[in-house]
Structures are given as C-alpha cells and as structure tokens.
Structure 1
Amino acid sequence: MGIESRQRQGMSCERLERVERFIDDDYIATGKLAGAVTQVWRRGELALNSILGLADRERRLPMAEDSIFRIYSMTKPITSVAVMMLVEECRIALDDPVSKYIPAWGKLGVHMGGMMEGFRTRAPARPMLVVDLLRHTSGLTYGFQQNTNVDAAYRELKVGALATDGTLEEMIEKLATLPLEFSPGEAWNYSVSTDVLGYIVGKVSAMPFEVFLKERIFDPLGMVDTAFHVPEEKRSRFCACYAVGALGSKLATGQKPTLQDDPYTSPYLTPPTFISGGGGLVSTAADYMRFARMLLQGGELDGARLLGPKTLELMTANHLPGGVDLPRLSRSMFSEANYDGVGFGLGFATTICPSATLVAGSAGDFFWGGAASTFFWVDPREDLIVLFLTQLLPSGAHPVRRQLRTLVYSAITES
C-alpha cells in the first residue's frame, strides 16, 4: 500500500515513495526483514501507510495493517504516561523516595566490589527518587548489559528477564537483595526502572497494573489490540519474530535472520505471570499511532484526555542532571537510542541538539524503540509522527532507524 495522492501534508509524494522503496529494496527484498509497516502522520492525516513483506515467512502470510507486533521497550512510554497520570492526581510526586512505595528498598547500597553472595557496598549519596526511575538514573541495570558483577547477578537471578515464571512482585523482592550500580542521579543506565514503575502504579492505584493500563489508557484511546498477550482469536494476526546475531553484537557480513518466536507456539499466547511495564506489550500500527497522536496533541485524542499539555511538556524536556546529553552521563552498553545530541526525559529520549546527532530532526522531538527493531518518534515542531513496526532482534542489527529519519525529513517540503 503506497501513496494515495501526489502531494500530502506539506510533504513530497515522490520522496515519500522513496521511503517505501528503500525499505522494500534494502530490507524486504534482501531478506534482512521479513516485513514492515511504516506510517507517517503529518498535519492530521496519514501521509504514508506502507505495508510490505510477510508477517510470517514460514507460513507465507503477508504483512497486514492489523498485524500484531511485540513492541518490547515501546511499552516504556505507555508505562511512563500511566505514572504521570497519577502524578497529575497528586498520588505520586516525582521527588518521592522510591522507598515510600517499596519500604524494603530503604537501605539499598551502592556496589563497591565483590560478586553475588559477597557484594561490598556503601550508602548512596541520596535516596532513589521516582524521577530517577523515569529517566533511568536510578542505579538499577539490565542483566543483558554484561558490564558489571551487578548485572551478572541480575542474569543469575533472572531479574527482569520476561521469563514465563516469576512475578513482578518477586522481581521487586530480588532487587531488594542486590546493590545499585551507582548512587541515584550520578549516571544514566538503561534498566529495569520502568518495570519498577509498573509495580508502583499498581500499588498506588490499588488495581493490577495491566488493569490500570486497560481502563485508564487503552480503552479511552480505543487501543483494542494492545495487551500483555495475544488471545486465541487474534493468533492469525500475530507476527513471527526473527533474530540475527545477539544483543549488542556485530553482525557478520551476509548473516541471515532465523525464526526466534513462532506465533503459533509463542509464550505471548498465554497471559504472563510477569507483567512487564518495561517491555511486555504487543500492539498494532493503528493502536500505537493513536497513543502517539495523543502525545502529539498534548495528552488528548478524540475527547479522551489522559494528560495535560504542561505535563507532556515536562515529560519531553531533558531531565538529565546538568542538562547534558547521554554521552556525558551514560554507562549503558546498550539502549534504544543513539547518544550524541540526545537527552532523556520522563519516559522518552529527546533531541536537544540536532546538529550533534548528524541526522535531520528537530530540537524537542522525542522517541523510543523496542528490541525487535520497532521505533517511533514524535516531532511537535513539524506536527509529525513516524511509526515503524517490524520483528527482528536485536534492534541494533541494522541502521534502519537512522535511515528512516533521514528519508522522512528529506520528504518535508513545508515547515
């Protein structure tokens, strides 16, 4: 499905066609990706709705507009919106200590040396705050970072591993026994912080986190296919997921993707015990575009207001201490962002210096992606949303996100 008119929303139709042609020629035809949905929303309409390739190579099922994708870390912005809804209701404050909601974390230490069973720690310079969880300055980590003895302990205890066993509550209990990587606020490290926020949302709202998302976000926005599992009646729409290499690895030339998760035997077909606000949702292009349109419009869509415009303004500002960009503060071996010229807000990365990124964009555009190469960004200055959905692990396998930014911004003819 391509362009429906020759000139749309201040964008060159010929250059929008180039977006679709590039994805088709460089990614679908070469076998790098099985299929992809690319949508460009500008000035109140879809300027591009491109649906290419296959949702399931093994069964030769074509990609469709209503195909269901694992969005992994694109769950994080949704969880962050849930937190900020409770902030607006004064049920959570950004400077609340996390121990107010998780008392067992009141004496978390900072790693000084040693390995699991023998960690040496010191007291943090200050307590972990809710804002630290939103901006990943909490001192927590991910096991896949493979950087320190602390993330090794995460791997051993399967902390935040999206495992089919275990619960969110059990993850919180495990984390109470592990040290922090650093004192909160001293560095940025991509982490299980957003999973912890899901736990806090459930505790403060006195309802299961997944119920809060459904009743307060998905139902009001009409996100009918977004959930933590795929029900039987929707299985035929669920994409296969593929993998090439390993998370953070450098690909060998010509390396081809292999099936990683079969949609007919996937763990996603049953409700999980571990409800991951950091990476557990599935969704569709239509659903996630509605979420992104709500963000673009300052917290409201079709009469459903989730947040106030000033709250969105706060969320999409750079909250890194000192106003620096990620290279000045990051300790992550991996995250879903390029770093130069990019800051981090309350649930999103945000461009603070477009020239430093060496890619076209706008100061104040905000974005995030998921482990299976999904990606979205919102550019309020250009009244623009771009959504890219595919299913290939890891997200760093190919530079498609950077290329998509270049292609889309080069299609804008009227600002």
Structure 2
Amino acid sequence: MMTDRLDAAMEAAITEKRIVGGVLLVCERGETVYARAIGLSDRTSGRVMEVTDRFRLASVTKPIATACFMSLVEDGTLSLSDPVTAYLPDFRPRLPDGTAPEITLHHLITHTSGLGYRFLEPETGPYAQAGVSDGMDQPGLSMKENLDRIASAPLYFAPGTGWRYSVGLDVMGAVAEAVTGQGMQALIDARISRPLGLGSLAFAVPPAADLATPYINATPEPKPLRDGDRPLLWGEGGVTFAPSRVHESASFASSGAGLTGRAEDVMAVFRSLMGHGPAILAPETVAQMMRPQIPSEVMTIRGPGFSFGYGWAIVTDPGLAAAPDPAGMLKWGGVYGHSWFIDPAAARVSLLLTNTAYEGMQGILPAQILEAFYT
C-alpha cells in the first residue's frame, strides 16, 4: 500500500507537470524499501532521470556539513561554546545600536546568531544592499568577501534571543577552514565521504549529463532556471539562483547550500547518522544533534510545533505541526526542489530530490509522500 501511494504521488507530479523529474529513496532500519527515478533529468535533450543522477543540493547540504562540524567537536578541534572571533577575529557584525555582541558556534549552527538570509528580505533589505550571497548565486565570490559583506549588515537580534534562518552555516564553514587549515571540500571528503565510501558530494563540478538540469514551477509547465532568476518565496523575499555557480571552482564552499551529489550518497549519510552502516559520529553526538536546542515558540518558517536541533528541524508537538508528522521527526528541505525526513521511532528515512523548485520542497508531492506513511 505504501509503495502504491508513493508511486501514485510521483506519477501525478509528472503527469500534472509539477516537476520535470525526481528521485525518491526510502530506507527502513537501514534497508532500502523504495527507490524510484521518474521523469526527465533534462527536458531539452530528453534525458531520462536515473537514480544515480546528481543534483544541486541547496540546503540538503546543511545536515551533511553539520555532521562534519560535529566531528570536529567530537575530536576537540572545536567547542560549540567558543566565540566565532576565536577563529575569525575580524567577523564582528553589530546590532543596530552599534554594539558587537559575542556570537558562538552554537548560535551559528542553530540559526540563533542574529544573522539572516538575503532571500528572506525584499531587495531593499540590508543583506541585499550589502551584496551578501546566500551560497547559490554570484559565481566566483570568495569566502572572505562574503564574510565581510555579512559582517557589514546589522544583526537582526542579539545572539541567543531569537531564531532566524541564516548564512550561519557558511560562517561555520569558514571557522572550520580556519581552525583546520583545510578547505570544506577536503573536510567533507575526509570526515564524510571516505568513511562512507561516497564519491559524489562536491562543491564544484564541471558540466555533465548526469547533473540534473534545474527548473522552476511555471504554467503550463516548469521552465528552466537561469542565472539571476529570483522567484518569490514566503512573501516578498525570493531566492536568487545561479545554477552556473557549481561550475566555478572559485566560488566559496557554501556549507549551507553549495553541495552537489547523488540521492544514494545523501541517504548514506542519513543512514549512518541513524546507526546503519559505517559510523561518522558517535551515537551520543547524534543524540545531541536530535535534541531540541531552541524554544519552539521562537521557531519561524516551520511554525508552531517545531524546534531546531543541530542540522534539522525537530517536531516537538504533532498537534501544532501543520502536517501528520510524528513527535521526534527530523526534517528539512532544499530550494532547488528537495525534501527529506527522518523518523527515528520508525527507523525510517525518506529523501526526495527533484529538479523542480519549489514544488519538490514545499508542494503537493512532499506532502503526499508524508501522507503515504502517516495517514
């Protein structure tokens, strides 16, 4: 029955032209129980989507990068209570009154730092005025230049007093690079990919047929995403896309949005964190990541019934969450058209990667996938 409902949801998304193509993987107790590619990877050439195709991962990067950061915490290289300035002395964003409060690494990875994202503002906002990159635009922009731009914009609130989705993971990546002397690609390779035997997780890749072409929802069918496109999302803000960014090796490694990779490699990371396959983190570290780190009443975007841990949102009150999510579920998405969830109680992981924004992240399809399991 579950398989039939998943098939029906995927097929309807193609038939109704809500997505061009996608891959859905589901694992239970570490074993694959559903794997399907559907639709087209590239509509112009007619290339059929394959389970092994690669995607621009957007914020699916975040749990992978967070696992990498937590491995640095495990071995004593970093402490989440450390101030950012211990590693980046010049990174001192200020409140509107001119004071420069202490931002800790914990603040960065829980989005309680007071930093923001440009895509959540109108184009008259401070991040837009400062030219900040959200990690998916401005090919060739360096990490140092983007840090300077972020630091020049005012903080939204004093660190630790609120929650706002932000470029904090990109700043955390700069911290990791500073303390180790290695780039984020080398850190991901050493701490995630090699232990798990993965080969696709990369911040910069050349053009290739197996890299899915990105699209954006439109009528009568999705249209190709182009550099500079800024489709509206959540009100007056909008993500500025530059699909060519991943082909420019000089682009800074965005720990919040910059990875590319295959669904099976992302799933391997999730399986490892759930205790199946080679371990990249100790069980007690994963348990820490799965604990709510902020009061649910300050959580935005997901809304009531959610908190945030290290790397993901956490369902804390199913009665308030606007979906059939069970308590303890971990979940997030990616603006290129992705959504995923982990249900620790059921030992279940679902990963949907599509090439169509924003349907694959927050449209009918991800809702129907959840309903296939929980209604």
TM-score relative to the length of structure 1: 0.81
Aligned 8 A contact 1:296 1:379 in 2: no
Q: What residue is the counterpart of 1:312 in the other structure? A: 286
SS at the partner of 1:46? strand
Match of 2:210 among 211, 225, 237: 237
Tell me, in whole angstroms, the C-alpha distance in 2 between the residues paired with 1:355 and 1:55: 38
SS at the partner of 1:39? strand
Q: What residue is the counterpart of 2:320 in the other structure? A: 356
1:162-216 CA-partner distances (Å, limit 9, x unpaired): 3112211211122232221110011111110010011111111111121111122
Tell me, in whole angstroms, the C-alpha distance in 2 between the residues paired with 1:144 and 1:359: 25
Which AA in structure 2 matches 1:227? A
Match of 2:70 among 71, 84, 94: 84
Tell me, in whole angstroms, the C-alpha distance in 1 between the residues paired with 2:3 and 2:315: 23
Q: What residue is the counterpart of 1:116 in the other structure? A: none
RMSD value, Cα? 2.1
Which AA in structure 2 matches 1:274? F
Percentage identity across aligned positions?
Answer: 28
SS at the partner of 1:137? coil
SS at the partner of 1:378? strand
How far does residue 272 in structure 1 lie from its aligned partner after superposition? 4.0
Matched, 1:388 2:352: yes
After TM superposition, list the pairs within 5 Å mapping 1:325-340 onto structure 2.
325=296, 328-330=297-299, 335=301, 338-340=302-304
Match of 2:28 among 26, 31, 42: 42
SS at the partner of 1:375? strand
Aligned 8 A contact 2:94 2:151 in 1: no
Aligned 8 A contact 2:203 2:246 in 1: yes
How far does residue 158 in structure 1 lie from its aligned partner after superposition? 2.5
Which AA in structure 1 matches 2:210? R
After TM superposition, list the pairs within 5 Å mapping 1:237-276 onto structure 2.
237-244=210-217, 254=219, 256-261=221-226, 266-276=244-254
How far does residue 389 in structure 1 lie from its aligned partner after superposition? 0.7
Tell me, in whole angstroms, the C-alpha distance in 2 between the residues paired with 1:267 and 1:346: 27
Q: What residue is the counterpart of 1:215 in the other structure? A: 190
Q: What residue is the counterpart of 1:406 in the other structure? A: 371
Matched, 1:182 2:154: no
SS at the partner of 2:331? strand
Tell me, in whole angstroms, the C-alpha distance in 2 between the residues paired with 1:137 and 1:292: 24
Long gaps (5+) in structure 1: 1-13, 112-120, 246-253, 411-415
Aligned 8 A contact 1:244 1:397 in 2: no
TM-score relative to the length of structure 2: 0.89
Evaluate the alpha carbon distance shift between residue 225 and residue 261 of structure 1 in structure 2; reply closer, same or farther with a 3 A threshold: farther
Tell me, in whole angstroms, the C-alpha distance in 1 between the residues paired with 2:323 and 2:216: 27
1:131-170 CA-partner distances (Å, limit 9, x unpaired): 1101101000111111696xx2321332124311221121
Matched, 1:110 2:86: no
Aligned 8 A contact 2:139 2:245 in 1: yes
Tell me, in whole angstroms, the C-alpha distance in 2 between the residues paired with 1:309 and 1:399: 34
Count the aligned residue pairs.
357
1:236-268 CA-partner distances (Å, limit 9, x unpaired): 1111100136xxxxxxxx553211159xx9443
How far does residue 104 in structure 1 lie from its aligned partner after superposition? 1.6
SS at the partner of 1:54? strand
Aligned 8 A contact 2:60 2:257 in 1: yes
1:21-52 CA-partner distances (Å, limit 9, x unpaired): 12212x10111101111111112321111211
Match of 1:296 among 258, 274, 279: 274
Tell me, in whole angstroms, the C-alpha distance in 2 between the residues paired with 1:244 and 1:360: 25
Aligned 8 A contact 1:82 1:201 in 2: no
Match of 1:30 among 4, 10, 16: 16
Aligned 8 A contact 2:307 2:315 in 1: yes
Aligned 8 A contact 1:141 1:189 in 2: yes
Matched, 1:376 2:340: yes
Evaluate the alpha carbon distance shift between residue 214 and residue 190 of structure 1 in structure 2; reply closer, same or farther with a 3 A threshold: same
